[in-house]
Amino acid sequence: MGVFEEIVRLRALGEPCALATIVKTRGSTPGKTTMRMLVRRDGSFLGSVGGGCLEAEVLEAALQCMQDELPRTLSFSLNERDYPGGGLLCGGQVEVFVEAIVEPRLVLFGGGHVSGAIAKLARFVGFHVTVTDDREEFANLERHPDAHAARVGAFDELARSLAPADGLYVVIVTRGHDQDGEVLEALFRAGCRPKYLAMIGSRAKRAQLFAELARRGLPPAFLDAVRSPMGLAIGARTHEEIAVSVIAEMIRARRAPEAAAGD
């Protein structure tokens, strides 16, 4: 399978990857311009940018690139001085451009009006959107034409199926406290640690529900990571305004996580 075919396959699966391309060479080098290496999330790769210790550094940069989604250009001088013991005697120079290929994925628990507004705006800004509900009439593409997928099932089963969910954005907007708690507990028990996890509701609702979940054994570290009330504090009232505040918070978690961590 070629590099680009593998990119298409991984995108269909929702798997992130990073593409490293040799963009410039000078002198004698084992890798030539436009040679490519595709790195998967698990560290496996396809293709090559020349092998050896150079390739090991590119691999490490690609894995980091998938985390922060920031492209980088790496420069290498292939000599024994810079890479002692590496056997690099050709003396040339290589520049490698590394870019993440990531389609952020949002999973909405609950298929009501707020979920619909969030789905519409999330797709507009580039998220792959899945709407879930335990009622078929609330989780289908006719009701949510802006979603890419809809899934129906028990909330706890749907939540467990996301594990490990380490790169996902998850928003809980079910029809009641019991279902919200069911989703949160199932996510925790399954080892799901989403990149962004939010739940609709007031501070009073959060306090009441989290106290109950704490009694069931959910630790403070997990509960503290749940954004509730969800969204940036812009005074949102309508479904559409709530969607704007939530999507803005998701974008901040994606593009400026250090700012989000400071809240």
Residues 133, 235 share a domain? yes
Check which CATH number belongs to the domain holding 129 and give it.
Answer: 3.40.50.720
Res 256: pLDDT: 85
Residues 136, 185 share a domain? yes
Number of domains in the chain: 2
Res 167: pLDDT: 87
Residues 7, 26 share a domain? yes
**144: its two tokens:** 């949510």
pLDDT in tens, 67-105: 889 999 999 887 755 555 555 556 688 999 999 999 999
Residues 196, 169 share a domain? yes
| Domain finish residue from 45, 76, 101 | 101
pLDDT in tens, 105-155: 999 999 999 999 999 999 999 999 999 999 999 999 999 999 999 999 999
pLDDT in tens, 172-218: 999 998 999 999 999 999 999 999 999 999 999 999 999 999 999 99
* Torsion from C-alpha of 152, 199, 218, 215, nearest 10 degrees: -100
Residues 122, 95 share a domain? no
Predicted TM-score (pTM) of the model is 0.84
Res 80: pLDDT: 57
Domain limits at 110?
105-261
| Domain finish residue from 44, 75, 101 | 101
**255: its two tokens:** 């593009």
Size of the chain in residues: 263
Residues 118, 71 share a domain? no
| pLDDT band (50, 70, 90) for residue 54 | confident
Residues 172, 86 share a domain? no
Res 86: pLDDT: 53
**38: its two tokens:** 């595709």
Going by the DSSP 8-state scheme, the letter that residue 46 receives in this structure is: E
